[in-house]
Structure 1
């Protein structure tokens, strides 16, 4: 994924992704750690006018990727249990973590963003969804 460096207010370095779906759809949710990680990431976003947005959690929208229709109930329960324990995904494993939906408001726009708080094995992204920059 290509990243474009931008300059934010106050001379702080910020980056914006060139992937228009990053954070905008649940299958490309922003990966953070825990609810505090969601709030910390969103607090670092910068609107086009260099202000910081306000945000509100609207609830969860279910798993990042749907379970296969023929998946046994026990397997689905195992996936949900592993997510609750913040168990890192194995290479190639489909991400079935629950995703949270946020309304993010700048002075002139409101954007729906999706965050996956079950990725405690990596640092929060250092890039922002399209339309935002991020203070690092």
Structure 2
């Protein structure tokens, strides 16, 4: 098997799901089987139906020969990236929430200010 250090996500692999551009994922490896579609003994529709998911079980259930497994090396293009997706860089706090927070802060400060003034006036009258 050639050494290729490309990594693909399942989402990326699933975009290649037509007769003109077909990738499958088997045992954590990604294969571009576009050129093999016409030669596949089970027909091209079997391979196209295997896109967008881990096709390992489908591949194993079909009982492929040692020759078929060796042939796969020709179509290997990389590994499946199983790392978790990166956290969103979008701010978790919305702008609307920030405005509302500022309004509550202003109202709280006004209430404290009024309380201080009322307290001062009350104590002054005594």
TM-score scaled by structure 1? 0.25
Q: Which has the higher contact order (CA 8 A, sep 6+)?
A: 1
Q: Give the structure with the higher percent helix.
A: 2
